[in-house]
A and B are shown apart, each in its own frame.
Chain A
Amino acid sequence: GIQVEQSPPDLILQEGANSTLRCNFSDSVNNLQWFHQNPWGQLINLFYIPSGTKQNGRLSATTVATERYSLLYISSSQTTDSGVYFCAVEEYSSASKIIFGSGTRLSIRP
Chain B
Amino acid sequence: DAGVTQSPTHLIKTRGQQVTLRCSPKSGHDTVSWYQQALGQGPQFIFQYYEEEERQRGNFPDRFSGHQFPNYSSELNVNALLLGDSALYLCASSRGQGSEKLFFGSGTQLSVL
Contacts and interface: CB of A to CB of B under 8 A. Distances in A.
Interface string A32-56: 0101000011111100101000000
B84 to A, nearest CB: 18
B101 A45 contact: yes
Contacts, number: 63
A41 B45 contact: no
Given A102-B41, A102-B42, A96 B104 contact: no
Interface of A: 30-31, 33, 35, 40-45, 48, 50, 86, 88, 90, 94-103
Nearest to A31: B99
Given A97-B56, A98-B33, A98-B45, A43 B104 contact: yes
Closest 3 CB pairs of A and B: A100-B42, A43-B104, A48-B101
